[in-house]
Amino acid sequence: MPLEALATVLLGVFVAAALAAGCSKEASEKAAQRLVEPKPRSTQRPPSIVLLSIDTLRADHLGAWGYPRPVSPTLDRMAARSVRFARAISQAPSTAPAHMSIFTGLAPPVHGVHNAVDGEITELPEHIETYVERLRKSGYLTVGLHGGVNVDAAFGFDRGFDLYSQDLISYNWIRASWTGADLEPIRSWLQMSRASDKPLFLFLHHYVCHAPYVTAPAATAHRFTEGRLVEGLFAGMAPSAKRELVELLGKVREPRARMMGILDIYRRQSDVFWSGVELARPEHRKHVEGFYDAQVSYADQLLKWVLAIFRDEKELENTIFVVLSDHAEEFGEHGGKEHERLFVEHLHVPLLIKFPRSEAYAGRVVWETVRTMDVFPTLFDYLGLQKGEPVQGQTLMPLLTKRGSYDVTVASFGQRGRSFPFVRMEREGFSYSTQPTKDGAEWLFDLGDDSKEQEDLKARRPIVLERFRARAAEIYKEHAAFARKLENLGRPEAGADSILQKQLQALGYTK
């Protein structure tokens, strides 16, 4: 087929796929134009990448992490063929900063993106390049299907994406009757990726496990709960609230107004759910965790449908799958709920990386504490791509290959207003944090004896405490210096494209 004719066909397929995912015609056509630009034919397409972020997923509520309830059969099977990072710690207990750390390989005080405060959104500074931009430069077709709100495009999360759309995920989430067929647009992207000879980077994100835990269809929602304890717990999502959301998503396109509208409906639903719940009472906590586990099992079903599409399309073995979460969730362990603070139950998330074809790392477990901001540096190292401008994330490959080293202070940051004044660190078997609670404003735990951080040791271990205090001060200085360095470097050179291209050539992916 002549090149021009092929381009026309591809353009049509792409626009159709984009429209199916709920994207505007204009955005779809713009992205499609880029795809049909002439480029060298590849000899071997690099692997596609799926990054699945299951918002608010606790590692210890999954079978692969030892949870006794059968909530995650798909994910557990996948874990057996992946590298399982037993202890992955998120860089923030909230959605926007945690995701931006994953996308940039930078700590929250450096990228500066926090959750929306009263509808105010801070956008990623222009001079910071995301890993998705780097992937696109190296020839990937980049598609993001996400749940919106604190991963909205307005924060800069859309940078580097050919398409970044909330509509596919949000509409189905609200309808709460997802079927495998609803995820069919993903098949179109895979076909598009093959037709255009570009590997696919697919970012999938949803809020199924986020409070209020009412997304799963009724049959699933009550899988692990019986009886009625308090008024709120059985409320589910009111049909009127669903209608309100669908209407809002259909009508309001302006990001801030859209976000505020969604948050308002969510808060009202959340208030209904939590009314009368006292997590300090074991029977209440058990009940709430039952609802949460039902959501986890629904998220597992979604993963199963996604994998089925890749299997059908014979792309399973040429794809890197990463499954993780942006933060975890508290069920009263430190007197609170949901995720705002810096205790282990807010930050310990699952992390699986399933490498393509090679069985070399299948079933491996990494016990060292790692960071979610190390994920992209690891993928780039594995693919032989240059990581770009200086980043703080480090490759985790040394933990698998035993070549090189991985030695970091694992730090996470808590938001107050528009800054990140609170830090939690893990090092040498201890955790330390400056998270204020009604019982204090500084915490020290021995993770060897007390993995759930229940017994504060700051009075008994003054020397360890002093070491952490000094390190905390250093970390803030280091981050300020790093942010200045990035600012001085400015926007990365466009020439990076050709450097990446050369690396791909060296690997035999292009010629």
Residues of this chain that bind Zn ion (CB under 5 A): 55, 95, 326
N- to C-terminal Cα distance for the chain?
21
Nearer to Zn ion by Cβ, of 95 and 172: the residue is 95
In angstroms, what is the minimal distance from the CB of 338 to Zn ion? 10
Report the interhelical angle of 185-195 vs 282-312 (nearest 10°).
40
Nearer to Zn ion by Cβ, of 115 and 394: the residue is 115
In angstroms, what is the minimal distance from the CB of 415 to Zn ion? 12
In angstroms, what is the minimal distance from the CB of 21 to Zn ion? 22
Nearer to Zn ion by Cβ, of 54 and 249: the residue is 54
Judged by DSSP in three states, 280 sits in: coil
The 419-427 sheet, strands edge to edge: 410-416, 419-427, 430-433, 443-446
Counting beta carbons within 10 angstroms of the beta carbon of residue 256, is it exposed (0 to 12), middle (13 to 18) or buried (19 or more)? middle
Judged by DSSP in three states, 370 sits in: strand
Judged by DSSP in three states, 176 sits in: coil
In angstroms, what is the minimal distance from the CB of 166 to Zn ion? 14
Residue nearest Zn ion, Cβ-based: 95
Nearer to Zn ion by Cβ, of 144 and 185: the residue is 144
CA angle 476, 480, 481 (to 5 degrees): 115
In angstroms, what is the minimal distance from the CB of 55 to Zn ion? 4
C-alpha to C-alpha distance for 388 and 23, rounded to whole angstroms: 30
Strands 430-433 and 200-206: unpaired
Strand-pairing partners, residue 411, are: 425
In angstroms, what is the minimal distance from the CB of 351 to Zn ion? 15
Nearer to Zn ion by Cβ, of 152 and 381: the residue is 152
C-alpha to C-alpha distance for 407 and 18, rounded to whole angstroms: 42
Strands 419-427 and 410-416: antiparallel
Nearer to Zn ion by Cβ, of 55 and 293: the residue is 55
Q: Give the pair of three-digit tokens for residue 239.
A: 């049909």
Closest of 92, 168, 157 to residue 124, by C-alpha: 157
In angstroms, what is the minimal distance from the CB of 150 to Zn ion? 7
Q: Give the pair of three-digit tokens for residue 413.
A: 């940051």
In angstroms, what is the minimal distance from the CB of 96 to Zn ion? 8
C-alpha to C-alpha distance for 431 and 456, rounded to whole angstroms: 10
Can the peptide bond before residue 239 be classed as cis, meaning omega within 30 degrees of 0?
Answer: no
In angstroms, what is the minimal distance from the CB of 353 to Zn ion? 20
Nearer to Zn ion by Cβ, of 55 and 389: the residue is 55
C-alpha to C-alpha distance for 452 and 409, rounded to whole angstroms: 19
Residues 6+ apart with CB under 8 A from 232: 272, 273, 274, 275, 276, 277
In angstroms, what is the minimal distance from the CB of 56 to Zn ion? 5
Nearer to Zn ion by Cβ, of 119 and 429: the residue is 119
Nearer to Zn ion by Cβ, of 140 and 173: the residue is 173
- Kindly provide the residue ranges of all beta strands, DSSP E only, lying in 55-119, ordered along the sequence: 83-89
Nearer to Zn ion by Cβ, of 326 and 345: the residue is 326
